[in-house]
Amino acid sequence: MIKNTISILFVCMALISACSKKELSKEDALALLQKKGNYPNTHSYQIYFKDSEDGRKMLDAGLEKEGLVNVQRNRKTGDNNGAVIEFTDLAKPHLLPPDKGQLSSVQKVKLADEVLDQIIQLTFNQNKDRAQVIYTTKFVNQTPFTKLEKKDFTKTKERQAVFALTKEGWKLQ
């Protein structure tokens, strides 16, 4: 609780200072990216639980052995009369609510949260009214369902952002 309060206080102070001064610091850029860059960002995967091919993916990833799913065997592809994949109680913390308009035979699962890691480089143009930021993100709170993606969730990702100085302060472009 105290940790969250301190984090919120830090972000608020950084945003206030970012808006009130002309120079963009790494801390200010990090705070603005946190707020406007939609971090943390939850990565998800859609599982068609009536599809025998997705059932095969669950088996290949070892998710049934880990006790996260039960896969019905001896089902033919295209036989959609019942669930091929059933999620166990162990999987419940990783299940995400459906999107608006999502098929009823689809279950979204959480893979990991992408969070800001650090600012690597901060470069200003000659007028000091635009700044290019190179930063990294990393994945935290990885779930066993990451095995379904080919992405390496252990590596950091390098990203870029551009900020512009306006009358209201620095804004993410």
| 3-state SS track over 88-148 | CCCCHHHEECCCCCCCCCEEEEEEEEEEEEEEEEEEECCCCCEEEEEEEEEEECCCHHHHH
| Structural domain range at position 98 | 43-109
Integer angstrom CA distances of residue 23 from 10, 93, 105, 121, 172: 18, 43, 51, 15, 14
Q: Report d(CA 10, CA 13) in Å as an integer.
A: 5
- pTM listed for this prediction: 0.76
pLDDT number for residue 18: 44
| DSSP 3-state of 27 | helix
Same domain, 117 and 163: yes
Q: What are 46-96's pLDDT values in tens digits?
A: 999 988 899 999 999 999 999 999 999 876 665 667 889 999 999 999 999
Integer angstrom CA distances of residue 53 from 33, 61, 104: 39, 12, 17
Same domain, 48 and 102: yes
Q: What are 91-125's pLDDT values in tens digits?
A: 999 999 988 877 788 999 999 999 999 999 999 99
Q: Report d(CA 135, CA 3) in Å as an integer.
A: 24
Same domain, 48 and 101: yes
Does the structure show a pLDDT above 50 at 3?
no
Count structural domains, the chain.
2
- Look at the chain and count its residues: 173
Last residue of a domain, one of 109, 125, 155: 109
Q: Provide CB contacts within 8 A for 14, sequence distance 6+.
A: 27, 28, 30, 31, 32
Same domain, 131 and 98: no
pLDDT number for residue 78: 59
Preceding peptide of 98 cis, ω within 30°? no
Instruction: Give the pLDDT mean for 26-41.
Output: 88
Same domain, 98 and 128: no
Same domain, 118 and 36: yes
Question: Predicted confidence band at 23 (pLDDT cuts at 50, 70, 90)?
Answer: confident
Residue 81, Cα to own-chain centre: how many angstroms? 33
